[in-house]
Amino acid sequence: MLTIVISDLHIPYHDEDAIKWALNYIVKRRPKKLIINGDLIDFYSISRFPKHPVSADFGNELETTLKVLDKFFGTLKKVKSIKEIVYIEGNHSLRLRRYLWRQAPELSNVPALTVPRLLQLDKFIRVKWQYKAPYGVAYLEQDVIVTHGKRFAANTCERNLQDYGCSSVVGHSHRLAIRHRRLPDGRIISAAEGGCLCSFEVEYCTFPNWQHGLVEIENGIVRIIRKEQ
């Protein structure tokens, strides 16, 4: 069984060429399952950080995201092999809930004001959907832990090998990396960072050490796939 994991699109701060590359790869490989490992939408406009007043437009951010998703899932409809899509909540998705808690707690339990409903996820493609929350939740796929992650350190993969004791895939760092470990019983486990599909042109970081890519999980084996420049 083949599962493809993509992470960190950060729409509307996405990279169109990277998304096109990822879609072409998915169409070619025909996975049975797609995992979106957090931060599909950036939610820049409602973050707690200082923002450019012109860019902080929640309506425009949401409208742009829906347009991108319409094209994205329009392509995925051609991949008849996909039977299930899992969306794992990331730290940017958490921004919506935290904003409501701070600014409008009375609305925080309104179903329409949740990520799956705002993004109309089940509208775009008629497959089985799962939304896994809260941020930090671990989803088990073929004995591989998939979680958005919280670390940026250079030794993230090594730490995850130690902490999980099994193979794992994380996003969050926007890097591509993989480490392997042979266990005493002879099994090989792998810890991967899954890269990103977002733009490298961001106002808060100059020359970020990020890479475009995705991850495959096939029969419990983890592989990272890098987009060539």
Mean local confidence (pLDDT), 163-178 = 97
What strands, in cross-sheet order, belong to the sheet with 176-182? Answer: 139-141, 144-147, 168-170, 188-194, 176-182
Position 81 confidence tier, pLDDT thresholds 50, 70, 90: very high
Q: Which residues contact 105 (CB under 8 A, 6 or more apart)?
A: none
The total of structural domains in the chain comes to 1
**Taking 90 as the threshold, does the pLDDT of residue 151 lie above it?**
no
Q: What does the pLDDT read at residue 34?
A: 97
Q: Given the structure tokens 């130690």, which residue do they identify?
A: 162
**Taking 80 as the threshold, does the pLDDT of residue 78 lie above it?**
yes
Q: What is the CATH number of the domain that holds 189?
A: 3.60.21.50
Indicate the pTM of the whole model. Answer: 0.95
- The domain in which residue 108 lies consists of 2-226
Position 54 confidence tier, pLDDT thresholds 50, 70, 90: low
